Amino acid sequence: MERKTFKWHPKFESSKSFKPTISKQVFDEGYEQRLTSGFNWRKYEWNLVFEGGYPLIQEIEDFLYEHGGKDSFNWVSPDKKPYLIVCEDFNIKRDTGSATLTATFRQVFD
């Protein structure tokens, strides 16, 4: 099955976090040993906000629902870099004439 591409653009207020995979061992007197875990230990996570009319938000919801939080998809971030993403949770707030969808995109390596 060909991997789909997420085509919608988030609002500027969205945020990006660096989430490295680190193993940490704490010893007596506060000393720590930290090691990276695996080849792809540098990962990003985005908290994204999408606003628009009901049809637009419904398109985004349908795309994310289809992937079910387990199937990855392609996405080009606001800084124009391509990533492989999963979205395990999203929320929708409906208002009069418009809606807001918030989602967490997590970088993965398949």
Say how far apart CA 29 and CA 20 lie, in whole Å: 25
pLDDT band at 29 (very low <50, low <70, confident <90, very high): confident
Domains of the chain: residue spans and CATH: 5-107 (2.40.30)
Could you count the other beta carbons within 10 Å of the beta carbon of residue 67?
18
pLDDT band at 3 (very low <50, low <70, confident <90, very high): very high
pLDDT value for 110:
86
Mean pLDDT of 30-38: 90
Write out pLDDT tens, residues 79-98: 999 999 999 999 999 999 99
Share of the chain above pLDDT 70, in %: 99
